[in-house]
Amino acid sequence: MPTPEPDPLLTLPDVAAILRVGVGTVKRWTYSGTLPTLKVGRLRRVSRRQLDEWLDRLEREGSVPPAWPHSGDRAALAAVRKAAR
């Protein structure tokens, strides 16, 4: 019986690239607790399995994290951009 492969740990830039969002957005999600992370020393990592489960939960609930404002809401989009600076 083959040994199962370990769950890869992703860096925050890796997660940002997968989700096609900015690294600042991913950092806001991790620091607010919206996106679960593991702390490895001083660094934060996201398990690929946890990322997939998080995305599945968002899809089931039909919700998106606050850092994804409705594209038609210019005030919310401006607030997110300002907060990212």
DSSP string, 9-46: EEPHHHHHHHHTS-HHHHHHHHHHTSS--EEETTEEEE
Query: What tokens were used for 25?
Result: 């957005």
What number of other Cβ atoms are within 10 A of residue 48's Cβ? 16
pLDDT digits (tens, 9 = 90+) for 44-80: 999 999 999 999 888 888 877 765 544 455 555 555 5
Distance of CA 62 to the CA centre of its chain: 16
More confident residue, 38 or 80: 38
Nearest to 26 by CA among 46, 47, 53: 46
